[in-house]
Structure 1
Amino acid sequence: MGNASQSVKTKKAPEIMEASKPDTATRIQDVAERLFVEHGFEATSLRMITQQAEVNLAAVNYHFGSKDALFESVFMRRLAPLISGCLAELDELEQQGGKLEVEELVKTFIRPCLALSKDPSRGGALFVRLLSRTLVENHRQLREVISQQYSVFVQRYSVAFHKALPELGAEELAWRMHFAFSVMFNAFAGNDVLKIFVRSQVVSARDPDMIVKHLVPFVVAGLTSPA
Structure 2
Amino acid sequence: MATPDTRTQILDAAEHLFAEHGYRGTSVRAITKLAGANLAAVGYHFGSKAELMAAVARRVIEPIDAAQCAGLDKLFARTPEPPVGELVEAFVGPLFDEMPAGDEGGARTSRLIVTILSDPAEEVRSWTGPAEETVRERYLAAFARVLPGLSPEELWFRMRGILAVTAVDRLDVHQQPSPGCASSPVEGEAARGWAITFLTAAMSAPPART
Query: 1:201: how far off?
Result: 3.1
Aligned length: 201
Matched, 1:202 2:164: no
Query: 1:208: how far off?
Result: 5.4
Equivalent position to 1:37, from 19, 23, 35: 19
The letter of the residue matching 2:115 is: R
Equivalent position to 1:223, from 188, 203, 207: 203
Equivalent position to 2:37, from 50, 55, 58: 55
Partner residue in 2 for 1:111: 93
Superposed CA offset, 1:33-57 (max 9, x none): 1111111111111221122111110
Whole-Å separation in 2 of the counterparts to 1:127 and 1:95: 30
Whole-Å separation in 1 of the counterparts to 2:87 and 2:5: 38
In proportion to residue count, which structure has more helix?
Answer: 1
User: Radius of gyration: which is bigger?
Assistant: 1
The letter of the residue matching 1:212 is: R
- Cα RMSD for the two superposed structures: 3.3
Partner residue in 2 for 1:75: 57
Equivalent position to 2:122, from 111, 124, 140: 140
Matched, 1:166 2:148: yes
Percent of pairs with identical residues: 34
Contact residue 131 and residue 185 of structure 1 kept, 8 A:
yes
Whole-Å separation in 1 of the counterparts to 2:106 and 2:17: 15
The letter of the residue matching 1:131 is: I
Superposed CA offset, 1:156-198 (max 9, x none): 111111122234444543443343443334334x156x96xxx
Contact residue 101 and residue 182 of structure 2 kept, 8 A:
no
Q: TM-score, normalised by structure 2?
A: 0.78
Whole-Å separation in 2 of the counterparts to 1:149 and 1:48: 30
Query: 1:141: how far off?
Result: 3.0
Change (3 A) 1:46 1:159: same
Contact residue 117 and residue 208 of structure 1 kept, 8 A:
no
Partner residue in 2 for 1:90: 72
Contact residue 46 and residue 67 of structure 1 kept, 8 A:
yes
Whole-Å separation in 2 of the counterparts to 1:79 and 1:27: 18
Superposed CA offset, 1:108-156 (max 9, x none): 1222122222499xx5442233123212325433433416542211111
Equivalent position to 1:182, from 147, 164, 182: 164
Partner residue in 1 for 2:192: 212
Contact residue 90 and residue 108 of structure 1 kept, 8 A:
yes
Contact residue 87 and residue 153 of structure 1 kept, 8 A:
yes
Unaligned regions of 5+ residues in structure 1, if any? 1-20
Change (3 A) 1:162 1:37: same
Change (3 A) 1:171 1:78: closer
Whole-Å separation in 1 of the counterparts to 2:38 and 2:151: 54
